[in-house]
């Protein structure tokens, strides 16, 4: 394993690893991904193995452009066209009917495939250099916090990955929003593109997963996005002083007194900024040997929805 700066020669080297069935961690604008050739079931199997991810939880396939999308999906319905036009390249994943070339392992046996076109220049250079769609879940062990920096990947999975490309911190710090189009448009996971902007394009999205093409909810399997330190969602002002000394606090805007460690997500109350620092801050708090992490809820509008979805799962609710 090597962590390499994402220079053109190192990107070319990573592309070679991927073409030979290897696994490469690379930066995207959302979080770091753990990539493999999406057409190679053996390479995809290694991704599941490295993440210790159950095989019923399908992967997201990353494409460079419309031509590459055409190799992965069988058709693009009108609503999907509208969303692609507005949000790609970017942090929106669409669940579309797959082509037979996409192995069952990648989609967990579903007839649909989750696909997105990343905007991150290094992710794009890697896709261009491999000329292959890349199946890439977030580069974290199953159930743990997602990685927003190369060093997170190195710490968590370093020993088992062929190569890690370091492209600096991820811009959004939160995974893509996932939308399914059939049988009707539905939000499968809140994420870095806020739901309101998607609904402005194609109308109201169904919430929840009933009647969707897959029975798998992203992150449905128990606790998810969770640090190893126990985490609870709580009004920080209401926590008695005696419960603070060995715990950490993650506040939204205002600092609080008496905790062993404290982080404030966004003093100005900017939910985009809060989202960008969420995982990074939790990685840090989780490394401090705290007894517990108390997290203050954020308002559930815009990216606040995605933040709260992750925090509830991290708290095991
Ligand atoms: O921002 C992101 O989306 C990052 C970066 C690397 O692109 N990737 C990511 O992948 O978050 P992952 O594997 O951690 O989450 C993908 C989620 C899974 O929870 C899975 O259940 C859902 O997407 N998914 C994948 N294929 C699906 C399908 N055919 N139908 C419904 N959900 C699907
Ligand atoms: Mg993930």
pLDDT tens for 32-57 read: 999 999 999 999 999 999 999 998 99
Based on the fold, state whether residues 196 and 246 are members of the same structural domain: no
Classify burial at 183, counting beta carbons within 10 Å of its beta carbon; exposed 0-12, middle 13-18, buried 19 or more: exposed
For residue 210, pLDDT over 50 is answered with: no
Domain that holds residue 262: 231-314
Statement to judge: residues 170 and 78 lie in one domain: yes
Report the mean per-residue pLDDT for the chain: 94
Residues having CB closer than 6 A to ligand 1 are 28, 30-31, 33, 57-60, 93, 95, 107, 110, 112-114, 136-138, 175-176, 178, 188, 214, 216, 218-219
Work out the angle at residue 270's Cα, subtended by the Cα atoms of residues 268 and 275, and round it to the nearest 5 degrees.
130
Query: Counting ligands in written order, which one lies closest to the CA of residue 225?
Result: 2
User: In terms of domains, do 284 and 154 share one?
Assistant: no
Lowest mean pLDDT among 62-71, 110-119, 167-176, 223-232: 223-232
Give the H/E segment covering residue 15: helix 8-19
Q: Are 139 and 248 part of one and the same domain?
A: no
Distance in angstroms (rounded) separating the CA atoms of residues 28 and 169: 9
pTM of the model: 0.93
Q: Is 95 a member of any domain?
A: yes
Q: How far apart are CA 154 and CA 210, in angstroms?
A: 37
SS3 51: helix
The C-alpha atoms of residue 146 and residue 143 are separated, in whole angstroms, by 9
Please tell me whether residues 250 and 191 are part of one structural domain.
no
216 inside domain: no
pLDDT of residue 201: 97
DSSP-based three-state secondary structure for 295: strand
Chain centroid to Cα 92, Å, comes to 11
pLDDT of residue 317: 62
């Amino acid at each position: 394993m090597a962590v390499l700066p994402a220079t053109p020669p190192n990107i070319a080297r990573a592309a070679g690893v991927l073409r030979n069935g290897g696994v490469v961690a690379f930066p995207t604008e959302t979080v770091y991904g753990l990539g493999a050739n999406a057409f190679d079931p053996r390479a995809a199997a290694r991704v599941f193995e490295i993440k210790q991810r159950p095989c019923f939880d399908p992967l997201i396939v990353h494409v460079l452009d419309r031509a590459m999308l055409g190799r992965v999906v069988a058709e693009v319905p009108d609503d999907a066209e509208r969303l692609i036009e507005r949000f790609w390249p970017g942090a929106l994943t669409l669940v579309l009917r797959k082509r037979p070339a996409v192995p069952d392992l990648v989609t967990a046996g579903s007839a649909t495939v989750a696909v997105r076109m990343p905007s991150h220049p290094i992710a794009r250079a890697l896709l261009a250099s491999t000329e292959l769609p890349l199946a890439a879940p977030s580069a974290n062990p199953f159930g743990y916090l997602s990685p927003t920096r190369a060093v997170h990947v190195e710490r968590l999975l370093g020993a088992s990955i062929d190569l890690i490309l370091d492209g600096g911190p991820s811009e959004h710090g939160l995974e893509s929003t996932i939308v399914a189009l059939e049988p009707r448009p539905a939000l499968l996971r809140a994420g870095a593109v806020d739901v309101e902007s998607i609904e402005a394009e194609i109308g109201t999205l169904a919430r929840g997963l009933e009647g969707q093409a897959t029975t798998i909810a992203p992150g449905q399997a128990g606790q998810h996005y969770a640090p190893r330190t126990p985490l609870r969602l709580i009004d920080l002002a209401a926590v008695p002083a005696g419960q603070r000394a060995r715990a950490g606090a993650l506040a939204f805007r205002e600092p609080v007194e008496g905790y062993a460690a404290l982080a404030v997500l966004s003093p100005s109350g900017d939910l985009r900024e809060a989202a960008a620092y969420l995982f990074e801050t939790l990685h840090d708090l989780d490394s401090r040997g705290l007894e517990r992490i108390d997290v203050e809820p954020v308002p559930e509008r815009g990216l606040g929805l995605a933040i709260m979805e992750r925090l509830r799962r991290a708290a095991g609710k």
